[in-house]
Amino acid sequence: MALTNNKAVLNWIDEMAAMTQPDQIVWIDGSDAQIEDLRAQACATGEIEKLNQELLPDCYLHRTAVNDVARVEDRTFICCRKQEDAGPTNNWMDPQEMYAKLKKLYTGAMKGRTMYVIPYSMGVVGSPFAKYGIELTDSIYVVLNMCIMTRVGTAVAEVIGDDFVKGLHAKADLDPENRYIVHFPEDNTIMSVNSGYGGNVLLGKKCFALRIASYLGRNQGWMAEHMLILGIQSPAGEVRYLAAAFPSACGKTNLAMLIPPEHYRKAGWKVWCVGDDIAWIRVGEDGRLWAMNPEYGFFGVAPGTNEKSNPNALHTTMKNTIFTNVAHNLDNNTVWWEGLDKNPPENAEEWTGKKVNGKEWVAEGNKLAHPNSRFTAPAVNCPCLSKEFNNPNGVPVTAMVFGGRRAKTAPLVFQSFDWNHGVYVGSAMASETTAAAAGAVGVVRRDPMAMRPFTGYNMGDYFGHWIEMGEKLGDKAPKIFHVNWFRTDDEGHFIWPGFGDNMRVLMWMLKRCKGEVDAVETPIGYLPNAEDIDITGLDDITLDTVKGLLSVDKDLWLEDCDGVEALYNEIGERVPAELRHQLAALRERLSK
Ligand code: OXD
Ligand code: MN
């Protein structure tokens, strides 16, 4: 039975059902009973497997098709009327042409299947920050994931209006040649076909909360960013919030859930996670920036997660979690991934489902779990979840942080001179490829604000939107910093310990925000005096190590300016003059 009388919703569902021709339509009310029933159905068909219910209550394992294990940027499109509005960093096709192409792929795609109707909310239902969507899908896996990642069901259906985001997903035959993840920002519409992998099919996440929302945010004067949000609580109980953007594989989830070094814990400092991936940010009534996490769960990368690197994430996955493409330990019906511990199970199935034969693993890269294997876990499981997680107003942002993976160029931390210089720093964000990934090592990929694959409109306009937000904020703008946890020594070893010790760097930022510590003015921004980075209890780090981590090689920076210029030239004329001016000023300061 339909959960709403809203004509716009019902007409659209009728239209999509007429095209995809499902045998039946089922509305998702979000109740425990319905979820349990769907889990049982998916177990019966082998779509998911029930794991050891004593060790991992309400946890399940799912395997995607082997050719369907990651987001597909080359098959992701922004279809707006004018190509220049999508800009050169997005794939584009004329909307009418794309609708016609997709219609062929969707026609009859749900024959013999069930279409599930998922009313969902990004953000607390009823809050002024929240936005609503409906995802239609023929995958129970998608339904179960959406119920973890977003707020789903009757309460959403009751408040949904005419401006909901329409999402249609059909697995079809998972044909990679006909896989499309398409956004029509001008129509509030997302269409995904021929994939079953999370990032392509959980339409609330990257598709809505970043690509469509970034477009809406620009038109409506707010921001959708690829940022974690965390709160640092002082012993006196005061909490300050930071929002931070990092490209993939730079430890966003780890930073969002960090455990403070022992001496901070003993003194009463605490860190709270508000979000690990996406922040929706607006100017509040007080004129400051306020951020909220529109999601309801974590879709985290499993490999590398362990008791040491991120105990909070590991504990988050111990109940009500769906694991995708990890290895299956058949001895105790649990899961395993590289980096969980040093004991890969021998009586096990690889992520592909193939039985392990001794130590001979056949999956690509000789990995038992896929490198992009995932856990989908409810945020409420997280031991360090902020009590503001469900605050409809979000949290006030004291500082914004950009970061990348740079072996030599970027220092451990620096502060931008002001908001516009900070926007420049974000636009210049980059990461170097690692040996862990296929292809050349050390190649710099420019990933402005970590939004390159997620901006639903022209990147030059996106930079312009950041500049405009700064104009609105004036002196209430948060301070902007840049960090790099990944400086290496001559043997290629990381110098900075990272993980919980990153708190030491966050503490310097907070002191800067409060005006409690001086800094050195350099051509690239304000750098800490080395003595001001707290290294108490760090055996391998001396004052000289910190000095090294804070060193800036002007030649490398000038080379990096060329990289930024190339990016700006690629984006073209919509790059704001202010950013070109920032680049020129940086070059001049470096050349002096
Ligand atoms: C993610 C990503 O899955 O950024 O969060 O790719
Ligand atoms: Mn992400």
CB-CB contact of 464 with 417 (8 Å): no
199 pocket-lining for ligand 1 (C-beta < 6 Å):
yes
Average pLDDT for residues 501-514, to the nearest whole number? Answer: 98
Q: Which residues contact 180 (CB under 8 A, 6 or more apart)?
A: 75, 77, 98, 101, 102, 105, 191, 192, 193, 194
CA angle 510, 514, 516 (to 5 degrees): 95
Nearest ligand atom owner, CA of 202:
1
382 alpha carbon to ligand 2 midpoint, in Å?
A: 18
333 φ/ψ sector (left φ>0, alpha ψ -120 to 50, else beta)? left
Dump the DSSP string for 318-361: TSS-EEES-EEETTTTEEE-TTS-S---SSEE-TTSPBPBTTB-
> Which tokens belong to 508?
């310097």
User: 575 by DSSP, 3-state: which?
Assistant: coil
Q: What's the CA-to-centroid distance between 524 and ligand 1, angstroms?
A: 29
Q: Please indicate whether residue 276, judged by its CB atom, sits closer than 6 Å to ligand 1.
A: no
Question: Is there a contact between 461 and 574 (Cβ–Cβ < 8 Å)?
Answer: yes
* Predicted pLDDT of residue 342: 93
Tell me, what's the pLDDT at 441? 67
Is 502 among the annotated ligand-binding positions? yes
Residues 312 and 257 sit within 8 Å (Cβ to Cβ)? yes
Name the percent of the chain lying above pLDDT 90. Answer: 92
Give the predicted TM-score (pTM) of the model: 0.97
Return the half-sphere exposure (C-beta side, CA atoms, 13 A cut-off) of residue 146. 34
Determine the residue type at 391: N
What is the pairing mode between strands 327-329 and 348-349? antiparallel
pLDDT in tens, 363-385: 556 789 999 999 999 999 999 99
Query: pLDDT confidence of 356, banded at 50, 70, 90?
Result: confident
Q: What is the pLDDT of residues 434-491, one digit of tens each?
A: 655 555 667 899 999 999 999 999 999 999 999 999 999 999 999 999 999 999 999 9
Residue 18, classified by CB atoms within 10 Å of its CB into exposed (0-12), middle (13-18) or buried (19+), is: exposed
Per the prediction, the chain carries an average pLDDT of 96
HEC secondary structure over 155-187: HHHHHCCCCCEEEEEECCCCCHHHCEEEEEHHH
pLDDT at res. 433: 75
Please tell me if the CB atom of residue 91 comes closer than 6 angstroms to any atom of ligand 1.
no
Euclidean distance between CA atoms 49 and 545, whole angstroms: 49
Average pLDDT over residues 337-355: 93
Among the residues of 252-294, which ranges form H helices?
252-256, 262-267
Q: What's the pLDDT band for 517 if we cut at 50, 70, 90?
A: very high
Q: What is the pLDDT of residue 248?
A: 82
Asked if residue 72 has its Cβ within 6 Å of ligand 1, the reply is no
Taking the C-alpha atoms of residue 56 and residue 54, their distance in angstroms, rounded to an integer, is 6
Confidence grade of residue 287 (pLDDT, cut at 50, 70, 90) = very high
Q: At what angle do helices 459-473 and 213-220 cross, to 10 degrees?
A: 40
Per-residue b/e over 504-513, b at no fewer than 16 CB within 10 Å?
A: bbbbbbbbbb
Taking the C-alpha atoms of residue 493 and residue 170, their distance in angstroms, rounded to an integer, is 45
Going by DSSP bridges, is the β-strand pair 413-415/479-483 parallel, antiparallel, or unpaired? antiparallel
Average pLDDT over residues 230-234: 98
Q: Helix, strand, coil shares of the chain as percentages rounded to 5?
A: 35, 25, 45
Query: How far apart (Å, rounded) are the C-alpha atoms in residues 178 and 106?
Result: 11
What does the alpha-carbon distance between residue 116 and residue 385 come to, in Å, rounded to a whole number? 30
250 is catalytic: yes
Q: Which atom of ligand 1 is nearest to the CA of 198?
A: 3
pLDDT value of residue 331: 96
User: How far is 341 from 314, CA to CA, in rounded Å?
Assistant: 12
Residue nearest to atom 6 of ligand 1 (CA): 248
Q: List, for residues 261-273, the tens digit of each pLDDT value.
A: 999 999 999 999 9
Choose the catalytic residue: 59, 79, 250, 382: 250
Find the distance separating the first CA and the last CA of the chain, reported in whole Å. 71
Give backbone dihedrals phi and psi of 356, rounded to 5 degrees, phi first: -70, 135
Q: Give residue 122's pLDDT band: very low, low, confident or very high (50, 70, 90).
A: very high
Alpha helices (runs of H) in 330-476, residue ranges in sequence order: 419-427, 459-473
For residue 248 and ligand 1, the question of a CB distance below 6 A is answered with yes
- Predicted pLDDT of residue 361: 60
Give the ligand with the smallest distance to the CA of 70: 1
Q: Please, what's the largest Cα pairwise distance for the chain? A: 71
The pLDDT value given to residue 102: 98
Average pLDDT over residues 299-308: 96
Amino acid identity of residue 532, one-letter, is D
**Ligand 1 closest atom vs CA 247:** 4
pLDDT band at 403 (very low <50, low <70, confident <90, very high): very high
Which residues are CB-neighbours of 409 under 8 A, at least 6 positions away? Answer: 484, 553, 556, 557, 560
- What confidence tier does 55 reach under pLDDT thresholds 50, 70, 90? very high
Q: Is the pLDDT of residue 542 over 60?
A: yes
Q: Is the Cβ atom of 277 under 6 angstroms away from ligand 1?
A: yes
Q: Which residues pair with 45 in a beta bridge?
A: none
- The string of pLDDT tens digits covering residues 184-229 is 999 999 999 999 999 999 999 999 999 999 999 999 999 999 999 9
> 153 forms bridges with which residues in the sheet?
none
* Ligand 1: residue whose CA is nearest its atom 4: 248
Question: Known binder of ligand: residue 501?
Answer: yes
